[in-house]
Amino acid sequence: MTQLDAITQGHRGRTAAASRSGAAVAILLALMAIAALAEVLAGRSAISAEAPRVSSWERALQIGDEALGRGDASAARRSYLAALFRARGERSLPGVIGAAERFTVLGDREVVGHALGMAASLGVAAGEGETHRLQALRDQLRAWGTPPLTVSAPR
């Protein structure tokens, strides 16, 4: 066998091995994609059975109200927290106030105080109704003996 034949035969062997390993990699990738898809589908069904996805702070407040109506205060608290942070993220003063009002029902002074701080830090002009609601929340904190957080609005 000449040196050229040996090189050609070695190259053919490597090409065949690479072809077999390429097929194995393709099969492995396909299996991984199927497994990932199964996990996503299983995760979605598990999430929707336990806690429906909420699309906004309003829906989170509704879910919390429903949980509170069932007597599940911890589920209500989780939903109200989600609503509070969604409302803050959307810079929605009515949402922050709505969540804070729900926390007064739960008797959670600390979160009400933080929500008032969030409301002040939004820097959004409050309408007359919102101003009254904020004052009622401050009065509730005073009645509990907890001073409200004071955060100056950005200028």
Q: What is the pLDDT of residues 82-138, one digit of tens each?
A: 999 999 999 999 999 999 999 999 999 999 999 999 998 887 777 888 889 999 999
Give yes or no: residues 74 and 132 share one domain: yes
32 vs 40: CA distance, rounded Å: 12
Residue 46's pLDDT is what? Answer: 41
Range of the domain at 37: 1-50
Give yes or no: residues 44 and 61 share one domain: no
Q: Is residue 94 domain-resident?
A: yes
Give yes or no: residues 87 and 17 share one domain: no
Give yes or no: residues 137 and 65 share one domain: yes
Q: Is residue 83 domain-resident?
A: yes
* Global pTM value: 0.58
Residue 116's pLDDT is what? Answer: 92
Residue 83's pLDDT is what? Answer: 95
Give the residue-averaged pLDDT of 47-72: 79
Query: Residue 60: pLDDT band by 50, 70, 90 thresholds?
Result: very high
CATH number, domain of 105, equals 1.25.40
Positive or negative, the CA dihedral 90, 51, 71, 147 is negative
Give yes or no: residues 76 and 91 share one domain: yes
Residue 127's pLDDT is what? Answer: 84
Give yes or no: residues 131 and 76 share one domain: yes
Exposure of 22 in the CB half-sphere (CA atoms within 13 A)? 6
Residue 48's pLDDT is what? Answer: 47
62 vs 96: CA distance, rounded Å: 14
Residues 6 or more apart whose CB falls under 8 angstroms from that of 60 comprise 54, 79, 80, 82, 83, 86
How many domains would you assign to the chain? 2
Give yes or no: residues 5 and 68 share one domain: no
Give yes or no: residues 35 and 110 share one domain: no
